[in-house]
Amino acid sequence: MFSVSLLIVAAAIVYMVEAYINTYYAIEYMHGTSLFFVLLAKYCTPVIFLLMCAYIAYRRISKNREAQNKSTIEQPTNKEELYTEKIKSSVMTKSVFSEQADQMLYQVRRFGQKMAVAYSMTQDSKTSGEQAKCLTLLASAERIFYDRLDDAIRSALMFDETEYNAFCRGSISFGDKEEAKKKKEIYDGIVSTVNKVVYDNERLILRLDSLAYALNQRSAQNPWDTDVVLAMTKLDTVISKTEEDIKQDEEISKEALKKNVEVNILIEVNVAEEESKFGVSVEETPVLVEEIAKLPGIHIQGLMTIAPYTTDPEENRPVFRTLKKLAVDIKKKNIDNVCMDVLSMGMTGDYQVAVEEGATLVRVGTGIFGERNYEVI
């Protein structure tokens, strides 16, 4: 557009210059100037001027093309860059999600690095069966990680922060109480979705990190040893299983708000990682605590665990010691709505060891009431 305008202006100037030259050199010719010089000046001057304008226009067009090419080259070329830009232009634009946006950006960077390492170490192996399984697992992990981010991005884009803030201040009304309640549930649902994406992806990264570590520690003689297979199984569990840990607490939160009460809870930790026991892993506990702490109506009082059954109580001392250390570490974080005053661990057979390791609550039903028959008649 600029170049066309420049040429139009140049043509107009040439026309005026031509008229001036015709008049000027006609007078000069009358005063005895050579006809050759008059004609040379008359025709060369506008041509030179037009060439200069054309050169300027050409340079401007070239610069525009270079800028366009540079812009095209600088577009994100991989998912890490692409999703970084997506998060910045959506989640980060809403102040209510500022903390979550920072976490997501950090997760995207870490996930990309860990995936690259895991892929590299997996492709070094010559065992085709397990290698193919691991590569498929990594591909699924990548797909789910970014699918979750898409969910958060869509939720952030549909979140009307202006209306939400006005609603929180009470400066706008949605009619009766039921309508206001439904509107509040919609906003809470969007916030919950974004929080859950951060939580689920953090668990995925943790399992991916464990797999990369196991792959790095394996021996050349047995590249797919027990530790690697176990790490693959745990990653597969996170991928295939819908995360239920926080859903139950969300339901508790909703019921607590309905009844206008505060519910004190303990987080169960499966320290020994027994298949027969419930609870979150030690590594995942801090992330879960931080997410649940954001739910209204719930107050996290501490941790609990059920140690493996054993005839020697001393065998469970490391389990109790691990839970105590975990509680101390969480307490140091000073998370709002969280205290680590309760440490529930130890049963009739090992409660003395548990108390020595810091238990504040023990379960000794068998010691008080004796053995019970749990058979259904």
H or E element in which residue 291 lies = helix 285-292
Residues near 189 by beta carbon (within 8 Å), at least 6 away in sequence: none
Confidence grade of residue 328 (pLDDT, cut at 50, 70, 90):
very high
State pLDDT tens for residues 107-146. 999 998 888 888 887 765 555 566 777 788 888 888 888 9
The structural domains of the chain, ordered by start, are 2-73 (no CATH), 78-243 (no CATH), 252-377 (3.20.20.10)
Of 375, 345, 338, 337, give the one whose Cα is nearest residue 363.
Answer: 345
Cα–Cα distance measured from residue 30 to residue 33, given in angstroms and rounded to the nearest whole number: 7
Exposure b/e, 163-193, CB count within 10 A at least 16 = b: ebeebeeeeeeeeeeeeeeebeeebbebbbb
Using CA atoms, how far residue 137 sits from 144, 200, 213, 244, in Å, is 11, 16, 16, 21
DSSP line for 70-113 = HHHHTS--SHHHHHHHHHHHTGGGSGGGHHHHHHHHHHHHHHHH
Which tens digits make up the pLDDT trace of 216-256? Answer: 776 555 666 566 666 666 666 666 554 455 566 777 877 88
CA 28, 33, 35, 38 torsion: positive or negative? negative
Give the torsion sign (CA, 37, 41, 42, 43): positive
Query: What token pair was written down for 327?
Result: 């509680």
CA distance 45 to 66: 32
Neighbour tally for 295: CB within 10 Å = 23
Cα–Cα distance for residue pair 52/66, rounded to 1 Å: 21
What is the end-to-end Cα distance of the chain in Å, rounded?
90
**pLDDT tens digits along 157-174:** 888 888 777 777 766 665
Query: Where residue 30 falls among pLDDT bands split at 50, 70, 90?
Result: very low
Tell me the pTM. 0.49
E-strand ranges in the chain read 263-268, 298-304, 338-347, 361-363
Whether 191 has a pLDDT exceeding 70, the answer reads yes
Cβ–Cβ under 8 Å, residues 359 and 344: yes
Q: What is the percentage of the chain residues whose pLDDT exceeds 70?
A: 66
Q: Following DSSP, what letter does each residue of 7-25 receive, concatenated?
A: HHHHHHHHHHHHHHHHHHH
| Average pLDDT over every residue of 273-299 | 80
